[in-house]
């Protein structure tokens, strides 16, 4: 029973990040609640908004208060705890509250596109004995009708008229006639759209925990018993049974009537992982994944809200899942970049999960074989408690890793992509009827067209990025804006006629493998071959069934899949990622190599891993070879300290972009001048300068990177900065504040 509601309106004006009071019409006073979407008058228009507060008194003069037009959804999209989380995010990430809410609630809600999908089914309209009477009396004349009625009498499932007619071998007019006679009726039911989970998933029983797992599980259960906030870093090598731990502690949470969220990186949300959860918990899980249609997502979301599903499993945005009585959040592969949203609002799911757990008094588990430097550092500071699974299940050993010095290979006269050793190892594996994985760092890596006369590569006209050459379609493509062009006859820079393909993309490697191993079945997995829905899964299943001998791929093959029959893993070049101009390059290299190496040695076979590199001495490559996280961590944390990078400092990247270069530069300069005033509170200002990708989708980009000592100082400066942008920012350019940036390109 509230007279007024505080409404956050959805208008694309940066200044307006506040709520407005509206009067609640009499008829809505009993049902209005926080988290509902409403339609309200705003100026001359009607706009959508969210209820974020209710009150019986307003400070606004009664005559100036306008009335809510209608409630769009009586379902609430968030409760007070989630609202608190959104408000925290708005402050921390310097983003408008409405944009946070729009990111967090199921897509399509605000635009009102989401409708419950209904289905018209056929039902009996009278008592069974009356139907039977009818069958006895009319049966001889109307055998088709009898057929229809008998199907309905003998089945408990629902049929549409079309289904029923097909089953009875008749047309829908038979059903219409029965409806007219009052024997049948139509009924609208809400149809749940459930994502496809594969057929016949068997219920799986828990494994008996090994001693390491038992210890870890006990500690987590003790925390769950306390029902307060508590955070763990679960450091377990690949194949050490982390997922089994998740499954068992979730089971315990359910017994205590607590709900759970499981976050997985987008890419490793493979059917295998989902199947494992499904086989343990059945319909108690709800899947929130970007591959689902908006309708499917919305239905899964509602199952959680109604408490029918108790476990949400999904990528980044599943951290907002409306799980009832939340008690546990698990972040699998917590070091993954996909947890950071790469566009406004730039939130990081791990940070958000930690905050949500504090608000709700939940337990958080950050799991990884290669924890992010930040998380390990925080664990050492006592912010997270450490749990370890140092051994693989059943004492399987981690695979031996061999580094291949490609400089040596050149000296031996091998200018090809594959070292002699790797070729031999693949040949041996194939001979033993085992499979091989060949890993390349990036899709179409460095496969570009290059002019041998002027030395220039062909670049995208919208972005300052080299175009990737795709041999199979003989075209050049920009992997940022998707610009596509045919292969030019001559160099666009100098008119020269000697354009040459350079570098090795996954396609080149596939070609070369076909030549080296003519009898082998070779498949490729990258964004090009998996664009179609389900394609990714198809390749994985073929691999699982042993129908592929050699799988070539990018990052996608590095994660989450378990194949017992892999005899060799080859990494074409460990250096590509090492050379990316980013202070996290060494960390990413270590994580990736460790993960790739973890793909083998899982079954009964002993797997071999070969890493080709021009930098075999580099510490991240050495540490990956030794499967030694601490060796890596100790070296890397020293470097971070020396150069003043996170976790020793707090970074913020301010990106300015626009279509007119001069305006972008002026805007960046004005920002810089403004920031000078706060010199004492900022540890260091890098820039302003052109961003590493200076032009993207026809926008020029400049950036200023700020380093801060404390959260407090950062928050103070960024708050002033935002006020400045709202008042004095140029309308022709877009400003993005990326708090804790991961990629600075």
Which residues in this chain contact ligand ADP in the complex, by CB under 6 A?
207-210, 213, 236, 238-244, 393, 562
399 binds, among ligand ADP, Zn ion, none (CB under 5 to 8 A by kind): none
Minimum CB distance to Zn ion, residue 465 (Å): 6
460 binds, among Zn ion, ligand ADP, none (CB under 5 to 8 A by kind): Zn ion
Q: Is 478 in the site for Zn ion (CB under 5 A)?
A: yes
Q: Which is nearer to ligand ADP, 214 or 226 (CB)?
A: 214
x/- string (CB under 5 A) for Zn ion, residues 318-337?
Answer: --------------------
Residue 340's beta-bridge partner residues?
348
CA distances from 109 to 73, 120, 319 (A): 9, 24, 18
User: Which residue in this structure is represented by tokens 């730039």?
Assistant: 346
480 binds, among ligand ADP, Zn ion, none (CB under 5 to 8 A by kind): Zn ion
Residue 476's beta-bridge partner residues?
469, 485
> Is residue 451 classed as helix, strand or coil in its secondary structure?
strand
Minimum CB distance to Zn ion, residue 737 (Å): 24
Nearest residue to 528 via CA among 419, 621, 589, 445? 445
User: Which residue in this structure is represented by tokens 């961003």?
Assistant: 691
572 binds, among Zn ion, ligand ADP, none (CB under 5 to 8 A by kind): none
Angle between helices 128-138 and 143-153 (to 10 degrees): 160
How far apart, in whole angstroms, are the C-alpha atoms of residue 145 and residue 135? 8
Q: Which is nearer to Zn ion, 24 or 460 (CB)?
A: 460
207 binds, among ligand ADP, Zn ion, none (CB under 5 to 8 A by kind): ligand ADP
**CB atoms near residue 132 (< 10 Å):** 14
Candidate segments 217-225, 367-375, 398-406, 460-468, binder of Zn ion by CB under 5 A: 460-468
- Sheet hosting strand 475-477, strand order edge to edge: 468-470, 475-477, 484-486
Are 234 and 249 in contact, with CB atoms under 8 Å apart? Answer: no
Q: Which of 20, 88, 483, 517 binds Zn ion (CB under 5 A)?
A: 483
Residue 403's beta-bridge partner residues?
611
Minimum CB distance to ligand ADP, residue 431 (Å): 27
Q: Which is nearer to ligand ADP, 243 or 375 (CB)?
A: 243
Minimum CB distance to Zn ion, residue 263 (Å): 31
Q: Which of 462, 639, 663, 715 binds Zn ion (CB under 5 A)?
A: 462
CA distances from 377 to 530, 586, 592, 713 (A): 37, 16, 20, 21
Residues in the interface with Zn ion (CB under 5 A) total 7
Q: Which is nearer to Zn ion, 254 or 481 (CB)?
A: 481
Q: Is 393 in the site for Zn ion (CB under 5 A)?
A: no
Minimum CB distance to ligand ADP, residue 367 (Å): 8
483 binds, among Zn ion, ligand ADP, none (CB under 5 to 8 A by kind): Zn ion
Q: Is 650 in the site for Zn ion (CB under 5 A)?
A: no
Are 421 and 267 in contact, with CB atoms under 8 Å apart? Answer: no
48 binds, among ligand ADP, Zn ion, none (CB under 5 to 8 A by kind): none
Q: Which is nearer to ligand ADP, 174 or 600 (CB)?
A: 600
175 binds, among Zn ion, ligand ADP, none (CB under 5 to 8 A by kind): none
Q: What is the phi/psi pair of residue 582, to 5°?
A: -155, 140
Are 73 and 39 in contact, with CB atoms under 8 Å apart? Answer: no
* Helix or strand run (H / E) with residue 611: strand 608-613
**CB atoms near residue 660 (< 10 Å):** 12
446 Cβ contact partners less than 8 Å away, ≥ 6 residues apart:
502, 503, 504, 505, 576
393 binds, among Zn ion, ligand ADP, none (CB under 5 to 8 A by kind): ligand ADP
Q: Which is nearer to ligand ADP, 215 or 562 (CB)?
A: 562
> Is residue 104 classed as helix, strand or coil in its secondary structure?
helix
Q: Which of 253, 426, 463, 558 binds Zn ion (CB under 5 A)?
A: 463
x/- string (CB under 5 A) for Zn ion, residues 417-456?
Answer: ----------------------------------------
> Is residue 85 classed as helix, strand or coil in its secondary structure?
helix
Q: What is the DSSP string of 186-203?
A: EEEEEPP-PPP--S-PPP
- Which residues contact Zn ion (rule: CB under 5 A)? 460, 462-463, 478, 480-481, 483
């Amino acid at each position: 029973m509230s007279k007024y509601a505080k409404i956050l309106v959805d208008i694309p004006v940066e200044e307006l990040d506040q709520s407005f009071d509206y009067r609640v019409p009499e008829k809505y006073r009993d049902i209005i609640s926080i988290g509902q979407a409403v339609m309200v008058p705003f100026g001359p228009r009607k706009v959508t908004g969210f209820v974020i507060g209710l009150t019986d008194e307003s400070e606004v003069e009664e005559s100036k208060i306008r009335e809510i037009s209608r409630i769009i959804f009586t379902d609430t999209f968030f409760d007070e705890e989630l609202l608190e989380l959104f408000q925290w995010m708005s402050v921390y990430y310097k983003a408008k509250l409405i944009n946070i809410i729009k990111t967090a609630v199921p897509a399509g809600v605000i635009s009102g596109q989401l409708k419950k999908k209904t289905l018209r089914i056929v039902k009996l309209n009278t008592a069974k004995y009356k139907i039977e009477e009818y069958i006895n009396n009319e049966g001889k004349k109307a055998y088709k009708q009898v057929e229809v009625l008998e199907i309905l009498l003998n089945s408990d499932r629902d049929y549409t008229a079309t289904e029923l007619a097909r089953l009875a071998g008749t047309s829908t007019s038979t059903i219409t006639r029965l409806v007219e006679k009052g024997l049948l009726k139509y009924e609208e039911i809400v149809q749940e759209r459930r994502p496809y989970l594969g057929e016949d998933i068997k219920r799986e029983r828990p494994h008996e925990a090994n001693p390491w797992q038992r210890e870890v599980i006990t500690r987590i259960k003790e925390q769950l018993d306390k029902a307060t906030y508590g955070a763990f870093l679960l450091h377990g090598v690949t194949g050490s049974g982390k997922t089994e731990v998740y499954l068992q502690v979730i089971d315990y949470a359910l017994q205590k009537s607590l709900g759970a969220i499981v976050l997985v990186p987008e890419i490793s949300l493979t059917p295998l992982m989902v199947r494992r959860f499904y086989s343990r918990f059945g319909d108690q899980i709800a899947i929130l994944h970007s591959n689902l249609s908006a309708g499917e997502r919305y239905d899964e979301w509602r199952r959680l809200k109604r408490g029918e599903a108790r476990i949400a499993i999904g990528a980044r945005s599943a951290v907002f899942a409306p799980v009832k009585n939340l008690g546990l959040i698990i972040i699998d592969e917590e070091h993954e970049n996909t947890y950071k949203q790469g566009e406004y609002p730039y939130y990081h799911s791990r940070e958000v999960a930690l905050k949500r757990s504090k608000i709700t008094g939940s337990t958080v588990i950050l799991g990884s074989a290669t924890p992010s430097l930040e998380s390990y550092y925080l664990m050492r500071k006592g912010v997270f408690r450490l749990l370890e699974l140092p051994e693989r299940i059943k004492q399987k050993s981690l695979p031996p890793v061999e580094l291949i010095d490609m400089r040596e290979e050149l000296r031996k006269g091998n200018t090809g992509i594959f070292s002699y050793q790797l070729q031999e190892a693949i040949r041996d594996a194939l001979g033993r009827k085992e499979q091989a994985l060949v890993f390349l760092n990036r899709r179409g890596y460095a496969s570009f067209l290059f002019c041998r006369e002027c030395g220039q590569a062909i670049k995208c006209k919208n972005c300052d990025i080299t175009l990737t050459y795709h041999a199979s379609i003989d075209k050049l493509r920009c992997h940022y804006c998707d610009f596509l062009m045919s292969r030019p006859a001559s160099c666009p820079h100098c008119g020269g006629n000697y354009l040459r393909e350079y570098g090795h993309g996954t396609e080149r490697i596939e070609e070369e493998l076909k030549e080296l191993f003519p009898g082998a079945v070779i498949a490729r997995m990258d964004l090009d071959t998996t664009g179609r829905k389900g394609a990714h899964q198809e390749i994985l299943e073929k691999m699982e069934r042993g129908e592929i001998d050699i799988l070539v791929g990018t990052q996608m093959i590095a994660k989450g899949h378990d194949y017992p029959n892999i005899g060799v893993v080859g990494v074409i070049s460990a250096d590509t990622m090492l050379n990316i101009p980013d202070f996290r390059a060494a960390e990413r290299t270590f994580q990736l190599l460790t993960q790739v190496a973890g793909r083998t040695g899982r079954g009964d076979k002993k797997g071999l891993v070969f890493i080709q590199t021009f930098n075999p001495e580099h510490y991240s490559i050495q540490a990956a070879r030794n499967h030694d996280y601490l060796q890596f961590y100790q070296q890397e944390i020293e470097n971070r300290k020396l150069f003043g990078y996170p976790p020793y400092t707090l970074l913020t990247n301010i990106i300015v972009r626009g279509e007119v270069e001069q305006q972008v530069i002026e805007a960046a300069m004005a920002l810089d001048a403004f920031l000078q005033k706060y010199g004492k509170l900022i540890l260091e200002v890098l820039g302003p300068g052109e961003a590493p990708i200076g032009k993207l989708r026809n926008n020029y980009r400049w950036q200023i990177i700020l380093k801060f000592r404390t959260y407090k100082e950062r928050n103070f400066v960024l708050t002033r900065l935002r006020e400045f942008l709202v008042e004095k920012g140029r309308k022709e350019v877009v400003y993005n504040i990326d708090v804790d940036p991961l990629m600075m390109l």
